[in-house]
Structure 1
């Protein structure tokens, strides 16, 4: 762990040098993207459901001094506390230091916590109840450890690039699937009092070159306005609507403006159009400017360090105090920054007996330095070993089980019988031979793959491997935990070979087997010669079952059509319950009910060229999103390419019939655009006079910690005396508030966008001989009358049945909102829908290519097939 963190710091420390070189290095040719300025930063507190929290915050902030305000906006420095990052505090007015910590699937680098399946497995369940339950459990564990802000969920990366390193942290390659998974996770987390930090806004679709180095500036994701709204912002809008307390910005640029100081993204889209009331935080060490970022709407810097960590520098801290005193940052901007933070703290009830951190993300020792980043630090108890797991293993196992996706089952070879003769192959079936959690942040691929690597991981409290679980059920099994097929293995006609293969990826600060986060070396192939292992088994055995643990799509073409390969299970990334969840399915205690959260192609060339990974030795990479709306299944449909397995595909041990479809109008879409937005309410007001310089002075006899970031100035009176009006403000900077965007009005946008326009119902009957669950996926086809090129099918809703016994039925209701039927009008800057839903088609089925029901205004029909 220490080596990985040190390596990461070395990379981060190059940021300032790279930025200073930017003027000397030519930019790559490409679209001349431009992110227009939007100032000033909108104030928070104008929505009624946040009013009480903002009133409490106003009372407290009104009493705060300059340095108390600054203290809450700036991290204390990397490794300067128990958490990944922590703010300063304002104990005089009752506000503690706030702990911000990873990860979206469990408490990172801690103990006695649950290692849940990550987002991609959760998405594969298509189960809203499990999405929410996992969120509740994450929030409870964060609270139990004293974490104020749990850094998740992740809905960006969206999965535009199939080889992108962190796609597995999100819920799938579709904005609606991401939106539902993200919003339910947020609601669950925050129901327990933890603040969710929705990330990463936006365009962080590959790991390589996301940040700056000695030879290049972090890439620019160049995204047109319509694509931004209809794809990449879609899940963020839903997350804001769910009440997310925090949003984390991405490392990269968007349209040539760094996300952490992109006024268009933060001020205009997030805070004004989407009505975000919480606080905006940087990704770790993504802060690249002081005044510029504050004016652009940033509210919190994490972990607080400047360009080079552990040098004791910061763009904010005392520099923010200086900028207030010299007038370059308006006092009202600082007031809004700290009010947003304190209001969020109150909104989640963290003023009511919320625990302080009782763990350390730096060590598992009971005692150690309180400030590990300091050369000399006081010591004390840093780990209390609080067990926060509760009964969360039940939820973890259910997600891992219900996410398992059966792609192929020729001859109904699955489920297996407990007395079947089994031969199990592949290191992915067993434990890490070096021991559990021996690779920091899971930065290796040894044994069963439970999650990717990087900051989005958690230590495994225990691991039930497939080997252990299978051996517990079957007494007629032999294990060959090797990735090279043993030549001595004998096979008989009754034998079934189970072959385990995997594919890994992760965050860029760790390189695993030549893959720097993104799957550069491995491509879309199985790791450790997995294809050859399957082929070798197929040469020897007449019945082969392949189990795949993977971060995303892999190519199956070398063996998928071999006659002995009878069954394929995608178990995705199962977390700590890898073995039990798999045997639940393998031996038929449950029927598989997972569905693919992405498309599996026949060849990587099936994707648009623009979604490949980009690398260049000099200049800033311009990543032009020229494919627009056409990623994943949208592209395959438009290009008329038949994938190996389509988005949403998933088989069962039973069969289902879709019947009795109904479509009813709930809210008439009698206008093209939604009704006028709600007006903004009032926001907290404070005196706009600059505070006295004395408020920034060091307290007498103050005991400083070296490298710790403080808000105090040695000579605050000099800062106040150097007030200037000649500061080079950004182009377009203004202190005059902009008119409220017409597409805004509530959290997530105009509340009319979420009016339910149509309700569909479908009866699903289990027509097979085993129990099982079905997923109804609703896709919308918008009419050409909107005047825009639009994907022929877009997932907009889904529901999952309970476990149905043979012959049993359940009626599912799938509701579609105005926004679900809208496109983004780049001229009007609002959402445009067909009046009365005229020309809209609704398709319901078990995948994007297996549609059973078709509906339009006027009626529905059951389909023989859809082409």
Structure 2
């Protein structure tokens, strides 16, 4: 198994394969390091039980045809390559729940949740189906222009084909029919005349706007992978302002991979609610209906939405700054997203962790209990000695077997001949310690997967009472932040969150644990984690900027 495979796409030139074989033979790579590589691969093989239960490969990433070449680029072994095995199970219900609970209500002037509106009007191409179909753009990237339908997935090699895609308009039509509501729509993003007329008739106007991004090998309307700006696509700002100018109950839903600028329209008096729905997947329409009608409590923002692009403190790179790939030097250390805004005292439009609920909440009775976890000692040990230190193979014993058929573009470990480059003489050596078969010192902060086991000791228990003081049953996302106290530390960092369900009028206790790692800093001198003497404070609340309760950590 070689990752990456070829050095350039479909070249057949491998970084590893026979090059690794040569490196072991000439001493560049110790044989026991090769054993370690193989052990890590085979451990996963046994972990998932492939030694006991295996099925033939029945899926091809290069074609959707039932019949095709098993070896796609070599054009060999024509057979059934896609068995179309249905492995979805209950995925539809799960993705619908995830998409709904991941939707964030950013603004709500009381228009949500919806009841049974007399007449609904839906606007924007993001509300409807792509006329090319849900999978009509290769790898979901419409390189001939921006997506014409609703966006529910980014583009690139990590995508999958939609088994179906429920658009917001389809789901809203079904809901309107069930409720006896009238529903109209204008999904041409530039048909402002029709928008004006339709919006004036409705008592609830639902606007769907979008932007998208993906992997850089596909360019969509000049967006090569990442977005080239933070504005809405396909006339989104004008759609919102046109509808809001004619409808005093305009509700905006944004489908996007990340923040978008909202200042042109967010404070419009007729924009009564705004939702950020991300990229929700195949159940997009059903999930947004669940939130709009209050069937599911919405979630919280995993990033900050700024008032201005410049507030983020970074500039966009439009062209690579070197020959091969763009290079960005991150000089802000720990000050990323909300930590940057806190450090520079910048007021965001919507802070990290923000999200409105359909009920009201009260936080009280914050209690902190110190746990005696014992001392933290640096690890003082060595890795086990290598069991195999001798290379017994020779170049002639590692030639391709005489009866072996090589498939073009595959990466093989065998040698083509005994005169391959690098076989004669010694290979290029690495650091001397990399060749010590007696083992190596374990780093002071190491000792186990995830680092020193002592980092996971519980040092404090935090207990907070959260009450639902509204008239609806609801769910709240309780967030815990910690201030480390040093001058070069972020003002606060998120160290825990829990989503809880509380009936109207009820209360519950939420318990967090603070681990040693949660209040530790990296010390470059000792190469270990340390807890500084600076005073530390724990905060609990609803977002990074809404933290009503705090307590010192002794």
Match of 1:575 in 2: 281
2:164 counterpart (445, 462, 467): 462
Say whether residues 1:403 and 2:102 are aligned partners: yes
Match of 2:543 in 1: 847
Deviation at 1:509, TM superposition (A): 0.6
Higher relative CO (Cα under 8 Å, sequence separation at least 6) belongs to 1
Alpha-carbon separation, structure 2, partners of 1:490 and 1:481: 11
Q: Is the 8 A contact 2:32 2:388 kept in 1?
A: yes
Match of 2:308 in 1: 603
Question: CA, structure 1 residues 345+743, in 2 after alignment: closer, same or farther (shift >3 Å)?
Answer: same
Q: Is the 8 A contact 2:165 2:282 kept in 1?
A: yes
Match of 2:503 in 1: 805
Alpha-carbon separation, structure 2, partners of 1:682 and 1:732: 18
Deviation at 1:842, TM superposition (A): 0.5
Q: Is the 8 A contact 2:366 2:465 kept in 1?
A: yes
Match of 1:782 in 2: 484
Alpha-carbon separation, structure 2, partners of 1:800 and 1:369: 48
Deviation at 1:352, TM superposition (A): 2.4
Return the TM-score normalized by structure 2. 0.92
Match of 1:439 in 2: 137
Match of 1:132 in 2: none
Alpha-carbon separation, structure 1, partners of 2:150 and 2:510: 36
Alpha-carbon separation, structure 1, partners of 2:320 and 2:63: 38
Match of 1:420 in 2: 118
2:255 counterpart (549, 556, 563): 549
Deviation at 1:732, TM superposition (A): 6.8
Match of 2:512 in 1: 814
Q: Is the 8 A contact 1:693 1:720 kept in 2?
A: no
Say whether residues 1:378 and 2:86 are aligned partners: no
Match of 1:754 in 2: 456
Q: Is the 8 A contact 1:428 1:500 kept in 2?
A: yes
Deviation at 1:497, TM superposition (A): 1.2
Alpha-carbon separation, structure 2, partners of 1:707 and 1:694: 23
SS of the equivalent of 2:71 reads coil
Q: How does 1:563-642 map to 2 (within 5 A)?
A: 563-592=269-298, 594-609=299-314, 612-613=316-317, 615-616=319-320, 618=322, 622-642=327-347
Match of 2:222 in 1: 514
Q: Is the 8 A contact 2:383 2:442 kept in 1?
A: no
Match of 2:212 in 1: 504
Any stretches of 5+ residues in structure 2 without a counterpart? none
Q: Is the 8 A contact 1:325 1:723 kept in 2?
A: no
Q: What do residues 574-605 of structure 1 show as CA deviations (whole Å, max 9, x unaligned)?
A: 1011011111111122232x100000000011
Match of 2:49 in 1: 349
Alpha-carbon separation, structure 2, partners of 1:332 and 1:791: 43
Q: Is the 8 A contact 1:327 1:723 kept in 2?
A: no
Match of 1:558 in 2: 264
Alpha-carbon separation, structure 2, partners of 1:400 and 1:409: 19
SS of the equivalent of 1:533 reads helix
Match of 2:245 in 1: 539
SS of the equivalent of 2:283 reads helix
Deviation at 1:615, TM superposition (A): 3.4
Alpha-carbon separation, structure 2, partners of 1:812 and 1:542: 40
Q: How does 1:259-408 map to 2 (within 5 A)?
A: 301-302=3-4, 304-305=5-6, 307-374=7-74, 376-408=75-107
Alpha-carbon separation, structure 1, partners of 2:499 and 2:322: 49
Return the TM-score normalized by structure 1. 0.60
Match of 1:724 in 2: 425
Pick which of 687-696 and 653-662 moved more: 687-696
Match of 1:696 in 2: 398
Q: What do residues 377-415 of structure 1 show as CA deviations (whole Å, max 9, x unaligned)?
A: 1211111111100012111111001011001111x1111
Deviation at 1:480, TM superposition (A): 0.8
Deviation at 1:539, TM superposition (A): 1.1
Question: CA, structure 1 residues 322+626, in 2 after alignment: closer, same or farther (shift >3 Å)?
Answer: closer
Q: What do residues 784-810 of structure 1 show as CA deviations (whole Å, max 9, x unaligned)?
A: 3xxx510111001111102x2211222
Q: Is the 8 A contact 2:482 2:536 kept in 1?
A: yes
Q: Is the 8 A contact 1:325 1:690 kept in 2?
A: no
Alpha-carbon separation, structure 2, partners of 1:360 and 1:616: 33
Alpha-carbon separation, structure 2, partners of 1:639 and 1:720: 56
- Quick check: which one's helix share is greater? 1
Q: Is the 8 A contact 1:326 1:720 kept in 2?
A: no
Q: What do residues 264-296 of structure 1 show as CA deviations (whole Å, max 9, x unaligned)?
A: xxxxxxxxxxxxxxxxxxxxxxxxxxxxxxxxx
Question: CA, structure 1 residues 416+751, in 2 after alignment: closer, same or farther (shift >3 Å)?
Answer: same
Q: Is the 8 A contact 1:680 1:745 kept in 2?
A: no
Alpha-carbon separation, structure 1, partners of 2:411 and 2:33: 21
Q: Is the 8 A contact 2:192 2:242 kept in 1?
A: no
Question: CA, structure 1 residues 557+509, in 2 after alignment: closer, same or farther (shift >3 Å)?
Answer: same
Alpha-carbon separation, structure 1, partners of 2:402 and 2:530: 61
- Higher Rg of the two aligned structures: 2
Deviation at 1:757, TM superposition (A): 1.1
Deviation at 1:746, TM superposition (A): 0.6
Q: Is the 8 A contact 1:425 1:485 kept in 2?
A: no
Alpha-carbon separation, structure 1, partners of 2:134 and 2:201: 37
Deviation at 1:695, TM superposition (A): 2.9
Question: CA, structure 1 residues 664+606, in 2 after alignment: closer, same or farther (shift >3 Å)?
Answer: same
Alpha-carbon separation, structure 1, partners of 2:20 and 2:350: 53
Alpha-carbon separation, structure 1, partners of 2:489 and 2:114: 44
Alpha-carbon separation, structure 2, partners of 1:492 and 1:536: 11
Alpha-carbon separation, structure 2, partners of 1:660 and 1:327: 64
Alpha-carbon separation, structure 2, partners of 1:551 and 1:653: 25
SS of the equivalent of 1:576 reads coil
Q: Is the 8 A contact 1:777 1:799 kept in 2?
A: yes
Q: Is the 8 A contact 1:499 1:545 kept in 2?
A: yes
Question: CA, structure 1 residues 816+612, in 2 after alignment: closer, same or farther (shift >3 Å)?
Answer: farther
SS of the equivalent of 2:172 reads helix
1:769 counterpart (471, 474, 481): 471
Question: CA, structure 1 residues 646+502, in 2 after alignment: closer, same or farther (shift >3 Å)?
Answer: same
How many matched pairs?
541
Q: How does 1:58-137 map to 2 (within 5 A)?
A: 73-74=1-2
Deviation at 1:734, TM superposition (A): 4.6
Alpha-carbon separation, structure 2, partners of 1:345 and 1:740: 27
Say whether residues 1:679 and 2:381 are aligned partners: yes
Alpha-carbon separation, structure 2, partners of 1:756 and 1:413: 44
Q: How does 1:98-177 map to 2 (within 5 A)?
A: none
Deviation at 1:525, TM superposition (A): 0.7
Q: Is the 8 A contact 1:485 1:536 kept in 2?
A: no
Q: Is the 8 A contact 1:359 1:383 kept in 2?
A: yes
Q: Is the 8 A contact 1:418 1:473 kept in 2?
A: no
Question: CA, structure 1 residues 313+493, in 2 after alignment: closer, same or farther (shift >3 Å)?
Answer: closer
Alpha-carbon RMSD across the aligned residues, in angstroms, is 2.2
Match of 1:711 in 2: 413
Deviation at 1:618, TM superposition (A): 4.6
Deviation at 1:719, TM superposition (A): 5.5
Alpha-carbon separation, structure 1, partners of 2:364 and 2:335: 31
